[in-house]
Amino acid sequence: MKSYMAQNLWLAVSFSLATISAVSAETPPKHVVGMEQARNTALKNYPGAVTDHELEKENGKWIYSFDIRGNDQKTHEVWIDARSGKMIGHHIESAAEESSESK
């Protein structure tokens, strides 16, 4: 009897975790600027070659994040607001940060 109850409890917990996980995986809002427009804005501010990009939710806000190997040979991480298309931040990655991202 205890085994049956434990098994049912385990199934209930597993189902609950799967449901929470599915709800947590948010989809981006419908009204965002396109990736190409965001990319052009990032490259206009920091010319170079885009090595990585993604649309992600950071601190409750949808942003495009671009890693750009700049003409200055530094890796710039540039953030573009996905709704307005405006640049909202920038960070030059250190060698240690670049190394940890490539793993």
Q: What is the pTM of this model?
A: 0.69
| Residues 47-87 pLDDT 10s | 999 999 999 999 999 999 999 999 999 999 999 999 999 99
Residue ranges of domains in the chain: 35-101
Q: Is the pLDDT of residue 24 over 80?
A: no
Alpha carbon distance 29, 32 (integer Å): 7
pLDDT above 90 coverage of the chain, percent: 60
For residue 68, the SS3 value is strand
Residue 96: what pLDDT?
A: 79
Strands 75-81 and 48-58: unpaired
Q: Which fold would CATH assign to domain 35-101?
A: Nuclear Transport Factor 2; Chain: A, (3.10.450)
Binned at pLDDT 50, 70 and 90, residue 97 comes out as confident
